[in-house]
Structure 1
Amino acid sequence: MHSPQASDINSALDVLRAGGLILYPTDTIWGIGCDATNPAAVERVYQLKGRDQSKSLIVLLDNENKLPGYVTEVPEIAYQLIEYTERPLTIVYSGAKNLAPNLVAGDGSIGIRIVDHAFCTPLLQRFRKPLVSTSANISGQPAPKNFSEISQEIIEGVDYVVSYGQDDHRESQASMVMKLEAGGKFSFLRR
């Protein structure tokens, strides 16, 4: 693998495996990321953002086949929603499992997005674990639409800042968020 982002991915992997935080581009907006199975790393994300722990964070996976590893029961419709959505879609599932407990909402639910992205996908494939992704801003401040809008406080608060995508000044949008219940009933939380 000799792509321009290969060394970037290696550096990000080293930090993630050591329980550190990365600042990275996703299929939506720039995110603060860490190992979604590491409670200490997740705690650092909450502290950096100044975010209330009762507000759960989103998790990224590279393939929907990995969903059953982190969700007790994946409703069949989830696979159709993921396949046919035109925009990045985060689905909130009930019955989260095998994730850091402080990542999961009080009701046991977790938001997961399957990403298709030049940097995230290979990173996730090599990390072989889900990644936390939360907007790269202090809680209550607007989410950055591109790298140039990320505050110095966030940049200095992570252990590694990914180079890939920093020069992309297009305005990104957050994902749609949908809550999916075990019976397949769903509702939009953010369109």
Structure 2
Amino acid sequence: MQKEISNALQVLKDGGLLLYPTDTVWGIGCDATNPEAVKKVFQLKEREDKKALICLVADDRMLSKYVKEIPKVAYDIFEVSEEPITIIYDEAQNLAENLVAEDRSIAIRIPDDDFCFQLLRRFGKPIVSTSANRSHEATPKSYKEITPHILKGVDYIVNLHREKNCSKPSSIIKLSANGRVKIIR
């Protein structure tokens, strides 16, 4: 695993795109603070850049660098959630502008996956995590279902967990600073 982390780190530092296993589905990733790298993700997915992407952080300490205020209920959700949950927060900061939604919100997940955790820790910054498909195609449930377009469009494919099947992407909820909670997916 350490070799894969080292290879992935170099790609992230160089502004490249990764194809990597997450705690949910296979993801396309890049440095979430690099606007040129984020632009490459939108191009590869053939996705409008007005649609926001999810990013991953290692823990709540890292999260606090990229969200102006973390609602208290988020910490409760971290503790009780047994399934992967992506939370949309108000007032993103220190991220690539083309990653942040028009309303300044950002979708972030703290993954429960050793590879992702170690990669995030060593990189020290958030990593984009969007499903490994074009925007008009279904989310692949396994590595074998990822199309040649995506496989050829990334700079590095992590050689771990390729046999793993993924049942579904994370749930998504929006937590507003005013205390409102909205279930998105």
With the length of structure 2 as denominator, give the TM-score of the two structures: 0.98
Correspondence 1:20 to 2:38: no
Q: Distance in 2 between matches of 1:78 and 1:69?
A: 15
TM-superposed CA distance for 1:68, in Å, is: 1.5
What is the aligned counterpart of 2:168 among 154, 173, 188?
Answer: 173
Report SS of the residue matched to 1:95: coil
Contact 2:24 / 2:170 at 8 angstroms: preserved in 1?
A: yes
Specify the alignment match of 1:36 in structure 2.
32
What is the aligned counterpart of 1:103 among 95, 99, 102?
Answer: 99
TM-superposed CA distance for 1:119, in Å, is: 1.1
Report SS of the residue matched to 1:154: helix
Q: Distance in 2 between matches of 1:20 and 1:83?
A: 33
Q: Distance in 2 between matches of 1:162 and 1:56?
A: 24
TM-superposed CA distance for 1:152, in Å, is: 0.6
Equivalent pairs counted in the alignment come to 185
Contact 1:62 / 1:116 at 8 angstroms: preserved in 2?
A: no
Which digits, 9 at most, give the CA deviation of each residue in 1:43-67, with x for residues without a partner? Answer: 0000000000110000101101222
Q: Distance in 1 between matches of 2:163 and 2:70?
A: 37
Specify the alignment match of 1:10 in structure 2.
6
**Worse-matched range after superposition: 28-37 or 72-81:** 72-81
With the length of structure 1 as denominator, give the TM-score of the two structures: 0.95
Specify the alignment match of 1:156 in structure 2.
152
Which digits, 9 at most, give the CA deviation of each residue in 1:105-124, with x for residues without a partner? Answer: 00000000011202111000
Percent sequence identity over matched residues?
51
TM-superposed CA distance for 1:172, in Å, is: 2.9
Runs of 4+ in 1 over 6 A off after TM superposition: none
Specify the alignment match of 2:184 in structure 1.
189
Correspondence 1:84 to 2:56: no
